[in-house]
Each structure stands twice: as structure tokens, then as C-alpha cells.
A = this chain, B = another copy of it.
Amino acid sequence: MCELLAMSANVPTDICFSFTGLLQRGGATGPHKDGWGLVFYEANGVREFKDHLPSSESLIARFLQTYPIKSNTVVSHIRQANVGEVSLANTHPFQRELWGKPWTFAHNGQLKEFSQFELTRFRPVGSTDSEHLFCWLMGQLDEHFSCCPSWEEWVPFVHQCCLKIHEAGIANIILSNGDALFTFCSTKLSWITRRAPFGEAKLADTDVTIDFSNETSENDVVSVVATEPLTVDETWTKLEPGSCCVFVDGELVG
């Protein structure tokens, strides 16, 4: 199993603290040593950092812990390979452009049989079940909508698609096009929304504490979604299997 991490915020916010927690699971406190990736949405652009080295050893990951890129939406993943060798092509998150938007996908789980998910115009570069599912999902979106649905339109459709995947195996999913952050729970996913009054939080995986009141203004709203709660002294909400959560500008909207 892999570890997922995502963020949605109403102001550009850095994810250094949460990423530091996640990184520990990439070969230090966890077995997820087969690569990691991080995608930042900034204005209408995206930037992506990836490495097939364990995140706890990766120099790029170490650099990113110290370089606070501020972003409204982040999608991140550390990998424990099951389907597909350890390589850059098999490292999540995956990206495709559709309707002039950059879509980003990360997956935790495994599907034994995924050939039933027939591909159309999007094709995987690597050999993971995850990228296959993403390509199928993007193809479904492309066929279902003629162009440019709002998130209110595509979210229910994507939820139905995720339920089909969920029937075929384990698929905790994070998907975003920058407008909304969609998260689907197949087995394991938790989320938290932080807002004023901000307090302290301590990472579960390493001895790091942060006082969010030093990092934020009183109007900031920041939601974080992760496979397992990243902090020990805050209340995270666990998603039910089969359910989805959607965040826009840091707020839970569906």
C-alpha cells in the first residue's frame, strides 16, 4: 500500500510540515520506499517533483522540505510498489491535460484485474494499474462531457466511476484539476480542516511540532487529506469506504 497526501487551501499555503511527516513513511517509519511525487497547483499552472528513490533518502525531497512552495492545491504520493517496477514512469502522481486543465491523480490500493477498464484516447506511459485507471477515468470524462464541466458536474460522475473501480479492488483516490480536490475512500483515508484559532500540532512520524498561528493569517482555511492522520494531537475525520470528499478553496463542499 502507498501513502496519499493532498491539500486544499483558500490562500497559497506551503505543505512542508505535512510533507515532512509523509516523507518519514518513505523508507524510515514506513515501507513506502519505491518513489514519491508531489504536484503543486499555482495560479492556473502546475509543477511536479518526482523521484524513484526512497523519499527519506531523496535529495530532491530533502530540498522541498526546506523550500516552502506556496500552493492552493497539492497532490502527493509515496509508493510501495506492487504492480509495476520501481521507475520514474511508475511514480505517482500522474498528470494529463483535458479541456485545457492539468488533471492530477494518485492512487493507493491494488486491482488484480483491470483490463475491463477499457482505454480510449489516454494511454499509460508506465505499467501500473494506477495509471491505467487514471487513463480510463480521463477517457470516461472525455466521453461523458463534451467540454469543460464545472466541478459540481464532474464530481458526481467521477464518484460513480470510482465506485466501479472500488468494486474491482482497492482504490483510494485523489484527483484534482486545480478547481476542486476530489478524494475517494475505498479502505482508508482521513481529512482535517484547519482554521482560526490555529494552534500547535505534532507529527505522528517524527519529532516535529508546528505552531500554525505563526504560519497563517486568521482567514486561512486549509484542509489536508492523508491515508493515515499525520498528526497525533488533532482530530481527523475518517472517510467511510465508498464515500468521497470534495474540497474547494480549503472548504469541504461535498
Contact = CB atoms under 8 A, between A and B. Distances in A.
A30 interface: no
What interface size band does chain A fall in? 20 to 34
A49 B46 contact: no
Contact of A45 (B67, B90, B97): B90
Contacts of A125: 44-46, 97, 100-102
Contacts of A160: none
- Classify the secondary structure of A's interface with B: mixed
Contacts of A50: 45, 47
Given A42-B88, A49-B49, A89-B44, A121 B121 contact: yes
A49 B47 CA distance: 7
A232 interface: no
Interface in A1-54: 42-52
Contacts of A44: 87, 89, 125-126
A83 to B, nearest CB: 16
Contact of A122 (B47, B90, B97): B97
A169 interface: no
Interface in A88-124: 88-91, 96-102, 121-124
B91 A45 contact: yes
A104 B120 CA distance: 21
Contact of A60 (B52, B59, B67, B91): B67
Nearest to A119: B100
A204 B48 CA distance: 31
A237 B96 CA distance: 37
Given A49-B49, A59-B67, A63-B63, A100 B124 contact: yes
B46 A88 contact: yes
A59 B42 CA distance: 17
A218 B113 CA distance: 47
A46 B101 CA distance: 20
A44 B124 CA distance: 11
Contacts of A100: 123-125
Contacts of A59: 67
10 contacts: A42-B88, A45-B52, A45-B125, A47-B51, A49-B49, A63-B63, A97-B122, A97-B125, A99-B123, A100-B124
* Nearest 9 CB-CB pairings of A with B: A45-B88, A45-B89, A100-B123, A44-B89, A47-B50, A42-B88, A63-B63, A43-B87, A102-B125
